[in-house]
Amino acid sequence: MNAAATPRPVQRLIDEFSRLPGIGPKSASRLTFFLLRAQAEHVTGLGEALLALKSETRFCSVCFNITAVETDPCAVCADEKRDGGLLCVVEEPLDVLAIERARLFRGRYHVLHGVISPVDGIGPDELRISELLQRVRTGPVKELILATNPNLAGEATAMYLYQQLAANGLRITRLARGLPVGGDLEYADEITLARALEGRGPM
């Protein structure tokens, strides 16, 4: 459909969908025309959910994960059964969800909201690093798990945090990295293989 022939409200929604990560112009158009055909209550429900996403959520004042406006600190920070001495540092709130799905971690979290990336103009001051340093200095933290992603920016951020916190007498650990279950050696890249060899353990 020619943009010139597209009604303005339709084109506006296509443009807004196109701003979302992983959504190109074709996907944005499909979503828009799906909503045009959908029942009015479904479209209204979507609009209300989008508005509530901004008005009814906030960042936890302790860990900076997403929480409901009326729930601060968040459920994880308020859970007394959680180990306050074990703190897992992640890049984004989605990483908390991923770790929680494993149902093994019973510590608490700190969400940085990004990684150090000079190319993108993101330094330590743009992240929740000062709040992390304060938590470590004043809280009961005994072990810090650096769970940033195993890419260049994630590794640089983990190294920066290590340099800032190593003098505090903390046990600082990094998530194990290596070959995924079900993967084949022949398809693994050199870095993954190197990490797998370094992190090998007993049978």
pLDDT tens over the chain, length 203 residues: 555 678 999 999 999 999 999 999 999 999 999 999 999 999 999 999 999 999 999 999 999 999 999 999 999 999 999 999 999 999 999 999 999 998 999 999 999 999 999 999 999 999 999 999 999 999 899 999 999 998 889 999 999 999 999 888 899 999 887 777 777 777 777 877 887 787 776 76
- Would you mind telling me the total number of residues written for the chain in this entry? 203
Q: Give the number of other Cβ atoms within 10 Å of residue 6's Cβ.
A: 14
Q: Where are the alpha helices (DSSP H) in the chain?
A: 8-18, 25-37, 40-55, 75-78, 93-101, 129-138, 152-165, 190-198
Q: Which tens digit of pLDDT belongs to each residue from 75-108?
A: 999 999 999 999 999 999 999 999 999 899 999 9
CATH topology of domain 81-174: Dna Topoisomerase Vi A Subunit; Chain: A, domain 2 (3.40.1360)
90 close to 109: Cβ distance less than 8 angstroms: yes
Q: What is the pLDDT of residue 1?
A: 53
Distances (CA, A) of 25 to 4, 47, 50, 65: 15, 21, 21, 31
Question: Measuring CA to CA, which residue among 169, 134, 123, 168 is closest to residue 63?
Answer: 134
DSSP string, 72-117: -S-HHHH-TTS-TTEEEEESSHHHHHHHHHTT---SEEEE-SS--B
What pTM, to 2 d.p., does this model score? 0.85
Domain boundaries, the chain: 3-55, 81-174
The CATH number corresponding to 3-55 among 1.10.8.420, 3.30.465.10, 3.40.630.30, 1.10.357.10 equals 1.10.8.420
Q: What is the pLDDT of residue 185?
A: 74
